[in-house]
Amino acid sequence: AQKITQTQPGMFVQEKEAVTLDCTYDTSDQSYGLFWYKQPSSGEMIFLIYQGSYDEQNATEGRYSLNFQKARKSANLVISASQLGDSAMYFCAVSGTYKYIFGTGTRLKVLA
């Protein structure tokens, strides 16, 4: 079975600063994917970034990067140069054979 833990229910960051959102996971699968999604107040789920378990390099997508530490089973999301529009709920997820297991989320507030 898979499990995702997001220990930060809420985070604040100053505009233009970088912020790290924590995610640890547990899975018995050898091959798996790690995903981050953003959910703004409008409620949509927006895909941000993906990391495969066999990828040796950390994934990057624009201002988003995934700090993947396989031995520690962590997949932290780093947002650089935060913008006001980054204020949202962020969910980490791990893929299993059929299921995707999501964490409870971190609510990020960017301060002007």
Residues that bind other proteins (CB under 8 A): 4, 27, 29-33, 35, 37, 43-45, 47, 50, 52-53, 91, 93, 95-105
Under a CB-based contact definition with an 8 Å cutoff, are residues 26 and 44 in contact? no
Q: How far is the CB of 36 from other proteins (least distance, A)?
A: 11
Distance CA 90, CA 80 (A): 15
Q: H or E stretch including 29? A: none
Residue 30 or residue 112: which is nearer to other proteins going by CB?
30
Give 35 or 68: the residue with its C-beta nearer to other proteins.
35
Amino acid (1-letter code) at residue 54: Y
**Min. distance of Cβ 16 from other proteins in angstroms?**
28
Helix (H) or strand (E) holding 68: strand 64-69
Rg of the chain (C-alpha set) = 13
Nearer to other proteins, 9 or 85 (CB): 9
Q: Which of 20, 32, 4, 31 is nearest to 86 (CA)?
A: 20
To other proteins, the closest distance from the beta carbon of 61 in angstroms equals 11
Residue number with CB closer to other proteins (64 or 100): 100
